[in-house]
Structure 1
Amino acid sequence: MKSDLLMNFAVDKENKTVSIKREFNASLSHVWSAWTEPEILDLWWAPAPLQSKTKFMEFREGGKRLYAMVGLDGVERWSFFEYSSISPKTNFKHSATFCDAEGNANSEFGSSYWDITFSEKEDLTVVDIHIKRDSFEELQKIIEMGFKEGFTSALKGLDKILAEK
């Protein structure tokens, strides 16, 4: 079992993007399931000690996932994904937008546009993530909110779940 898994995180201010490359010590089918099935996604999507709670999810082109990150104080911070493209076990794309519990977008933050690619490398699965924002100011805002630290924490939670499979 490999313990020094690759984790690259890069910000390209000029192109308003974040790129993340992460290896997982698990099969492609297990990693794909962890990203696409709400029961598994909720176990790791929020950084500890927050928890993810999916209200509904339709993983299909044109489908949505409405979910909250719930703090220890019970405060819910809502977001939704809109899936625009799905190539099974290879790639999917979605927008991510902060919203209220009914899915009404919060225009203050705009949306992130995620392009997530899955591949195999020996006995590992590699996930390449490219996230684009509409403006540098929006990108800067999510970075200042602690996106890198939070997402890194969430991915470590995914490692634990995959190790149990």
Structure 2
Amino acid sequence: MPVIDINADTENLTMTVTAEFAAPIERVWQAYSDPRQLERFWGPPSWPARFHTWDHTVGGRADYSMTGPRGETSRAYWEFLEIEEPHRFSVLDGFSDENGQPNADMPAMRMDFTFESTESGTRMVTSSTFDSLEALQTVIDMGVIEGTRMAMSQIDAVLRDLREYAEGKGTTVEFLDDTHISITRLVNGPIDLVWRAYNEPDLIRQWMLGPDGWEMTECEVARKPGDRYRTSWAPVGDTEGEPFGFEGEMLLVDPPRRAVQVERMQGTDGPDILNDVNFYEEDGVTLVTVLMEFPDKDTRDAVLATGMADGMEQSYQRLESTVLA
């Protein structure tokens, strides 16, 4: 976790974030000055950012939005005040309306980013200054502290070559908090084909089978928000186990980058689990990230205790050896 400290100072109306990266200062600067890299970690995992304009000059402006798992959108902007590559830059950060104009009803703040080389890499200190205690409290109440920690947890994958970061690690589970986990798997194939493998029934039936000895007996896919889906599995031959399945609703689709669904066990009233699946391609390989949101810690632990991660790994191996071969 890159973030080592977040301090909200209500007396001086500031919030300071300190983070350390195992990368040289030039590489960290590049991540913060390239919108395609920045948008991979600027928003929390469940609210990824997308930069629509980018004028990285003093007096220039960048416009971006963050989209929640149910399609909610928050728009904001940066106005670049100072730039001193690769050591510091300052922006006015504020919310904007649907037309990109500053939203005067929401707080704006000055953000100063400073970067310093260390023996092990780079230390970054971000200081945000607010006009009033009310403005500072507003962003705290919006969850900015925990959101910042979760957002910054994504930067390690950006600062390193994707193959170097994830190849050979298999299916990895990271606990974000009591109700969120992040599951990642590097898939050896281009994003367009991986997206198809996740969304076309004929391909899904070839790989999304979990452990050996199971078959998919039902595969109804959802293609747009509001569509229902249904998937079922059953043991084959001497394999032990009872047939089971999931059903749910598609909440958001952004091909080939993101799909969000809510699911529950068939024939039950829940609990509902949110699956937010994101895809990112680099150098011919695709990183699949599944953010799962549970209603409580007990549900999270019960789902993981089923051996879900092991079953996913076997499915991903089958995906690479059959669909992408």
Matches within 5 A, 1:16-165: 16-164=13-161
Q: Which string of whole-angstrom CA distances, capped at 9 and with x for unpartnered residues, describes residues 104-136 of structure 1?
A: 111122211001100101131110111000000
CA gap of 1:158–1:106, structure 2 versus 1, over 3 A, is same
Query: Percent sequence identity over matched residues?
Result: 28
Q: Structure 1: any 5+ residue segments left out of the alignment? A: none
Does the CA contact (< 8 Å) of 2:3 and 2:149 recur in 1? no
Distance in 2, matches of 1:94 and 1:55, equals: 17
- Higher radius of gyration, 1 or 2: 2
CA RMSD of aligned residues (A): 1.4
Distance in 2, matches of 1:6 and 1:100, equals: 30
Distance in 1, matches of 2:97 and 2:2, equals: 36
What is the TM-score normalised by the length of structure 1? Answer: 0.93
- The more displaced of 97-106 and 33-42 is 97-106
**How far has the Cα of 1:6 moved from its partner?**
5.7
SS in 2 for 1:86: strand
Q: Which has the higher contact order (CA 8 A, sep 6+)?
A: 1
CA gap of 1:33–1:6, structure 2 versus 1, over 3 A, is same
What is the TM-score normalised by the length of structure 2? Answer: 0.48
SS in 2 for 1:35: helix
Distance in 2, matches of 1:114 and 1:66, equals: 15
Distance in 2, matches of 1:6 and 1:152, equals: 6
Name 1:12's counterpart in structure 2: 9
Distance in 2, matches of 1:157 and 1:10, equals: 20
- The more displaced of 103-112 and 33-42 is 103-112
Q: Which amino acid aligns with 1:13?
A: T
- The more displaced of 122-131 and 155-164 is 155-164
**Runs of 4+ deviating beyond 2 Å:** none
SS in 2 for 1:160: helix
Q: Which string of whole-angstrom CA distances, capped at 9 and with x for unpartnered residues, describes residues 28-56 of structure 1?
A: 11111111110101111110122111110
CA gap of 1:94–1:119, structure 2 versus 1, over 3 A, is same
How many residues align structurally? 162
